[in-house]
Structure 1
Amino acid sequence: MTDQELQNLVSKISNDLFQKRFKHKAFFNPRLRTTGGRYMLNSHNIEINKKYFEQLGKEELIGIIKHELCHYHLHLEGKGYKHRDKDFRKLLKQVGAPRFCSTLPEEKKRRSRSQKFIIYQCSNCELNYRRKRSINTAKYVCGKCRGKLVKVKEIIID
């Protein structure tokens, strides 16, 4: 799908579901990583993550477009366009738009990998601390007794 085809699809969905014209630009943004799309408040353009279309199909793309159009039309009307606003949630239900987009299959793989933890122990009170990232033991001390922390071991959980 090209940017022009996306523009036409967004305009069609806007006319059919919202009975309002989409007067701005819609395009694929290859830099989007963690979201399906976004509505730009200043330019009123809609950017879409092409990975969602490629990996999850046209139905997911249409859901993302509906969601972003809810932001778009409510913002232009001066109503509550943010995720927590009542107007926004009401319009999402009316048009059948999802509140959140699905997780990409490649993200699921990344999350399901094994995790590494580092165990630190206080040399004074022997309290254990489990951390994903290593810490500077010269800088940080035990939160309970202010004793010196010592790296005990690293564990990998599948």
Structure 2
Amino acid sequence: MITQQQLQLYVVQISKQYFNRPFNHSARFNKRLKTTGGRYLLRTHDLEFNPQMANLTEFEGIVKHELVHYHLHLQQKGFQHNDAAFKQLLIAVGGSRYAPRLSQAPRHLWRYRCENDHQIMRQRRFSANRYRCGQCGAQIFFVGEVDNR
């Protein structure tokens, strides 16, 4: 696992190497980020990264992506995803357009069954007496949780 100090040095190094500009703010991990690789904070100009993606091979592309936001915003150019300047600089430095998908299985799978034995699997549990089967309209019964480990 990479530390906060190593992350800061890594971002500074990538900024000098690919952008020929210094990175003068802080880069840190934010464990609350779940689906995104990182984010650029407009008010403080800091960068936050998903610690789950730090060990992936695509992490350099994620850092470049956030640095594109950073440098374009400081230059007062179009720094948003749909701006032409952003797209051009992202391609020039070889940054990734999207964060890689982390394969996470749902925590729970709930099994339901109707009177006609149609199986219904859901990630969220619901009150079976309030709904009917979508295939036949019969009453639904809760069967139990499926072990998905």
- The TM-score normalised by the length of structure 1 is 0.67
- The alignment of Structure 1 onto Structure 2 pairs a total of residues equal to 145
The Cα shift of 1:65 comes to: 0.5
The Cα shift of 1:34 comes to: 1.4
Comparing both structures, which one devotes a greater share of its residues to helix? 1
* Aligned equivalents of 1:25, 1:80: Cα separation in 2: 22
* Aligned equivalents of 1:76, 1:13: Cα separation in 2: 17
Check 1:7–1:113 CA distance in 2 against 1; reply closer, same or farther (3 A cut). Answer: closer
**Match of 1:97?**
95
Check 1:112–1:27 CA distance in 2 against 1; reply closer, same or farther (3 A cut). Answer: closer
What is the aligned-residue RMSD (CA, Å)? 3.7
> Quick one: which amino acid aligns to residue 82 of structure 2?
R
Instruction: Give me the identity figure in percent.
Output: 45
SS of the residue corresponding to residue 93 of structure 1 reads helix
* Aligned equivalents of 1:86, 1:111: Cα separation in 2: 36
**Match of 2:72?**
74
Unaligned runs of 5+ in 1: 119-131, 136-158
* Aligned equivalents of 2:21, 2:79: Cα separation in 1: 16
Check 1:114–1:51 CA distance in 2 against 1; reply closer, same or farther (3 A cut). Answer: closer
Unaligned runs of 5+ in 2: 113-121, 127-149
**Match of 1:124?**
none
* Aligned equivalents of 1:103, 1:134: Cα separation in 2: 25
Q: Does 2:86 correspond to 1:88?
A: yes
> Quick one: which amino acid aligns to residue 96 of structure 1?
G
**Match of 1:65?**
63
* Aligned equivalents of 2:77, 2:38: Cα separation in 1: 20
Check 1:27–1:113 CA distance in 2 against 1; reply closer, same or farther (3 A cut). Answer: closer
* Aligned equivalents of 2:69, 2:89: Cα separation in 1: 9
**Match of 1:14?**
15
CA contact (8 A) 2:35 2:101 kept: no
Which residues of 2 match residues 27-66 of structure 1 at below 5 A?
27-53=28-54, 56=56, 59-66=57-64
Which residues of 2 match residues 76-155 of structure 1 at below 5 A?
76-104=74-102, 108=103, 110=104
